[in-house]
Structure 1
C-alpha cells in the first residue's frame, strides 16, 4: 500500500511539474517581437522600459521602436507597433479615438499617473506681470515675456513640433500676442528653463507633470477659467478660455495583441506606475546623469514583490 501511495504522490508531483512546465512553455505564445513604443520624453522611457523588461522576464522577444506621439497611433492601428505605456488622452489627434472605437487599438486602462499640463513661469515673473497667475494678465504684459526675436509679442515655448499644436492653437484662438515657438526636445526645453531661471530671465513654457523639474525649481502654473466637463481646446474665446483639457494616461496595445500574446496582455493590464516612482526615476536620469537602464534595473530590484504578482497572475 505504501508503495502505491508513494507512486501516486510521485505521479501527482510529476503532473504538477509537468503542468508548470507546460504553462511556462506556452509563454511566449509567439516568438515574434513585441514592438514597444518609445516617445521622446524621459518619463515615458521609464514606464516603457520597465514594462519591456518585465515582458523579457516572461520570455518575450522585445523590440523598442521610436515613434512620435501622434504618428504612433497609425502604427498601432495597423499592427506595425504593439504597445504604448503612456498615451496622454488630451494630445491624441483624430485617428486615436476612431481606432479605439473600431478595436484597432485597445485601451488596457490607466497607467496610474496623476498628470497635469499647462503653461508655467518662474514666480519672479509675477512682479513683471501683475495679475498672474490668471491668463488674462498675459495680454497686458506680453513685452515682459518678449525676446529680441519676438518683440513686441511675448515668447511661449511649446512642445516639440511632432507632439501637436495645442498651445499654438490656443494662442491663435484667443488672439494672445505671443509667438509660439516649438521646443527642440524635452532636454533642450529643460536646459533653457533652468538657464533662464538662474539668470532671472523671462520664460513662459508648456510643460507637464510628473516631471523632475518640479523637484528642482519653484514654478507657478498659469490659471484658466473653470469649466464643467471637458475643456474644448479647439473652441476657446478670450474671456472664457479654459486652457487645456487635463489628461488621463492610458496603456494601449494593437487590436490583435491579446489573441497573439495573451499572458503579456494580462501582465500589461496589471502594470502600473505612480507619480512618485516616475519622478524619482526621471530625476535620476535627467538631473543626476544616471543611465536609464541602470535606473530601470534598480526599480525592478526594489519592487520585485509588486511586479512578481503581476507576472504570476498573468501566467495563470
Structure 2
C-alpha cells in the first residue's frame, strides 16, 4: 500500500523530503513549487526551483501557480484526487480550498519546536536567539500560521558554533526521516494529533537586509550568534578600511574569544575582535566578490592587524 501524495515545496531544504517519500514507495501524483525566478548575473534567465528540478529528475509532473486565487488552479489541485498533501517550505499561505482539497488534509514539515519560531525563518531565528535545541515537527495544517496540531517531533541539538547552513542540512535530513515515519502512520490511520499551545509562541520573521550588519557594541555571545545565524546566507558583515578603501567583509564562521577593548578593535593577529563585552574570533570570511577563506589565508591578502578598528 502507498499514499497518493501531492508534494509542495521550493528550496533545497525540501528536496530531501521529496526524495525520501518517493523512495518509500508513495505515489507522488504531482509536485507544486514556486514559479521559476530570474537568476544569473544579469537576472535574465528563469531558473526552476531546486524542488522543481528534483521532481523533473524523478519524472514527476510539476505545477507552478503563482497562487491559488484562480478557480482553475484549485480545481486542478482537487482533481488530482490525492490522499494527502505534504508541504515543506513551499512559500505560500494555503487557502482553505487547498487545505481541504485532499482526502486526509495537508501536513507540513516545519523546522522548529512549535509553538516556538512559527513563521518564515525558524532556523536563523533559533541560532540568533542562542537556542541550544531545535527540531523538526510534522503538523496538520490549519488556517493559522504554523498553528495546527502536531503529529510528530524530532529534536536536534544546536552546538555553540553551529551555523544556520549546518543546521539547515541536519534538519532537512531529520525532516525527511520524520515525514516518512509520519506518512506511514497516517496510512495505517495511526497518526496522533496533539493541539498546539500558544504558550511560548514566538514569530520567526523573515531576515531583513537591515539586520545583516554586525554590531560589535553588543555582547560577544550575541555577536557570535548573529554571525552564525546568518551564515552562509544572507551573511552578517562589517566594513574595514583596507589600502585606503572601505571594504565589506562577510563572516561565515566565528567563535567566542577573550579580551577587551573599544568595541570593533582588532585584538591580535588572529582576528579576535572586541565586543561590547568579551570578544569574538573570526575564523572564516569572504570579501565582496571574493571566495570564502579560512582566517589564516584571508589575512595573507587582507591585513586586518592588531589595533585596527572595524565595523
TM-score, normalization by structure 2: 0.28
TM-score, normalization by structure 1: 0.28
Query: Counting helix residues as a fraction of each chain, which structure ranks higher?
Result: 1
Structure with the bigger RCO (C-alpha within 8 Å, sep 6+) is 1
Query: Counting strand residues as a fraction of each chain, which structure ranks higher?
Result: 2
